[in-house]
Amino acid sequence: MDQGEVRRLSSGVNQQGVRDHNERLILSMIQRHGALPGSDLARIAGLSPQTVSVILRGLEGEGFITRGDPQRGRVGKPSVPMTLAADGVFSVGLKIGRRSADLVLADFRGQVRGQLQATYRYPLPAEVFGFLRKGFATLTEAARLPARARIAGIGIAKPFEMWNWHDAVGAPAAELAVWRDIDFEAEIARFCDLPVLVENDATAACRAEHVYGRGRAFRDYAYFFVGSFVGGGVVLNHSVFDGAMGNAGAFGSLPAMRADGRACQLIDVASLYLLEADIVAEGHDPRLLWTQPQDWSAFAAPLERWIDAAGAQLARAALTVCAVIDFEAVIIDGGFPDAVRDRLVARVAQELVRLDSRGLSLPRIEAGQVGGNARALGAACGPVFSRYLLNTHGGLTVN
C-alpha cells in the first residue's frame, strides 16, 4: 500500500442492498435467539412491523423459515413465532486434520444430518479430495435432500500453511509441499459446481462456537481451540473477525517459553501432539486419543502432566491477547473429552489469577460447548453465513 493511498470505506447500499441486509438481519436474529414472533423481531431489529411482516412472508414463501405454534395469553391475536426451517438450507463442511479428515452435512439449524471420517498417516491432496468426492455423494444421497439447490456450498477448514507440518506429523517435506500450490476451488470443481469457502480451521471452530455454543453469550471474546495444534479465533461485536489475510486469532504463533527457558511458540507447548508423544513414550497406543467415543482414562499420568503444562501456557496466552483487545471472555475448547476440557479450563483460570495483570482487566475463562466437531461444523457454517446471515465484518465470501 502506497503512503499516499487512502483505503476506501465500504460502499453505500442501494434499495436492493437494504432489502437483502434486512432479510439477513431477520434470519440472523432468528438463528441466534430462536423462534420469535414478528412483533419481537421488529422491536429488536428497529424495523417497522410492516417491513418485518413483508420480509417474513417472503422468507416463508421461499422455504427459509416456518411457523411455530401460536402463543396465547396476550391481548389481541395470538402471536406466531417464526423459526428457521431445518430443510431450508444445507451445507457441507470438511475439516482437514493432522491424522484425519471429517466431513459433515448440516442443516439450517446446525444439526448434523450425516458425518464421515477418514484417517491417514498424514494428509495428501489425492486422499483428501477423494474422500470429499465420495463422502459428498454418500451424505447427500442418504439425507434425501429436498433439492440440491438448497445446499449453500462446501466449506473447507484447513490449518494455515499445511506444508510446514512435516516435522510435527512425521511426513516427508516434499510430500506435504504439494499443498502450497493446491487450488481448492479447482479441485472441487472437478466433481461439484457448488460455491466453495476455504478458511483457517481454528477460525472455523470459532465460528461454530459463536453460532451454536457458548459464544452467543458474549460480544467480544478470544477463542482457543486445542487440537493436534493449538489455534484460535477472534469475535468482535458479535461477529467472527477473519482479518485481512483470513488468519486473525493465530494464537498458536504467540511467543511462549519452554520449561528450560528457551523461546518458542504457543503451538510448541500447548498442543495435543505433545500429549501424543508422551503417551507413545510410555508405551501406550496413541490411536486411543482419537478413537470415538473418546476415553482417555488409560493414560492418566501423561494427561495430568499435559494439563498442568498446557494450562499454564494458555493462561499466559489469554492474558497476552487481552493486552491487545479488552476481551470480556476467553473460551477454550478442543478435540478432547468434556471432562478433560473442564480440567484444562479450571487449570487456566487457576493460573491466570497468579499472573502479573497490572493494567488489564482479567477475562472470564469459559469452556466451549461444541467440542471436537467444531472445525467441521464451523466449515459447514461458513457458506450459510456467506449467503444468508449477517456478518458485521463483511469479510466472508464464497468463490
pLDDT digits over 244-273, tens only? Answer: 888 899 999 999 999 899 999 999 999 999
Asked whether the domain spanning 90-200+379-386 has the same topology as the one spanning 15-84, the reply is: no
Judged by DSSP in three states, 48 sits in coil
**CA quadruple 232, 234, 239, 241: dihedral sign:** negative
Distance CA 231, CA 19 (A): 37
pTM score, two decimals?
0.87
Q: Tally the C-alpha atoms within 13 A of residue 141's C-alpha that lie toward its C-beta.
A: 6
The CATH fold assigned to 214-369 is Nucleotidyltransferase; domain 5 (3.30.420)
What mean pLDDT do residues 293-299 have?
A: 90
- Average pLDDT value over all residues in the chain: 89
Q: What is the structure's pLDDT at 6?
A: 52
**Domain-wise residue ranges, the chain:** 15-84, 90-200+379-386, 214-369
Q: Which residues contact 6 (CB under 8 A, 6 or more apart)?
A: none
Q: What is the structure's pLDDT at 9?
A: 39
Distance CA 374, CA 212 (A): 9
The CATH fold assigned to 15-84 is Arc Repressor Mutant, subunit A (1.10.10)
10-19, 142-151, 287-296, 347-356 — most confident range = 347-356
Q: What are phi and psi of 158, to 5 degrees?
A: -135, 150
Asked whether 86 and 104 are in contact (CB, 8 A), the reply is no
Angle between helices 201-212 and 374-388 (to 10 degrees): 70
The band of 131, judged by pLDDT with boundaries at 50, 70 and 90, is very high
Distance CA 252, CA 267 (A): 5
The CATH fold assigned to 90-200+379-386 is Nucleotidyltransferase; domain 5 (3.30.420)
pLDDT at 372 exceeding the cut of 70: yes
Extended strands (E) in the chain: 36-37, 65-67, 81-84, 90-96, 100-107, 112-119, 151-158, 196-200, 221-226, 230-236, 239-241, 255-257, 263-265, 329-334, 364-367
pLDDT digits over 53-66, tens only? Answer: 999 999 999 999 99
